[in-house]
Structure 1
Amino acid sequence: MVDIAIEVTDRKGRVSQFTGTEGLTLMEALKNQGLPVAATCGGAKSCATCHVYIGEGSAPVGLPDEDEVDLLSESDHYRERVSRLSCQIVLLPALAGLHVELAPQD
């Protein structure tokens, strides 16, 4: 397993860096760091409480599917092209240096 470098900006604007283990979801890595990600549904793609913004210049994390877009677009904090559910992003070596920002909670 490879450790993936991640930079996160929390809801108060504080930036921290940590590593997440390859194969975990970004949501799991954020929660493991004690960051305030509710993840109420446990990664079932049904609550959007793990909503993040993918930072510019980050490695491509792939496109959200239609169900993810439908769920995120209901949020007042949805940002087209950068909003993602962190439970749907699997950490892979190609994502090293990923920067995310925790979206405001609805």
Structure 2
Amino acid sequence: MNENNTIVLDLTDCKNLWELHERIRVAFDFPEWYGKNWDAFWDLMCTESDAEIVEVVGENTLHKEFSPELELMHTVLSDLKIENAKYGWSFDYKIIS
């Protein structure tokens, strides 16, 4: 993470859902026991992450079978933005490509 708490999540050429969640785990420096599902992502984003901006790169390189998973990820990120705003905390995300 850089000084303004930006996380770059690079999904370029991800081959499967396990790899996608492993990239999330590494990018956010989540513990090894990260559950690799969207509930676990939500939980750790709420408790273990100080990210203010998440930049998602490489979505356009993923096979169309990832579309439902990407929608879920976008929903979690959007919900996090709403939840953080309730407490006056800064959080946003950008889909770069």
TM-score category by the smaller chain?
0.3 to 0.5
TM-score (norm 2): 0.35
Q: Which has the higher contact order (CA 8 A, sep 6+)?
A: 1
Q: Larger % of strand: which? A: 1
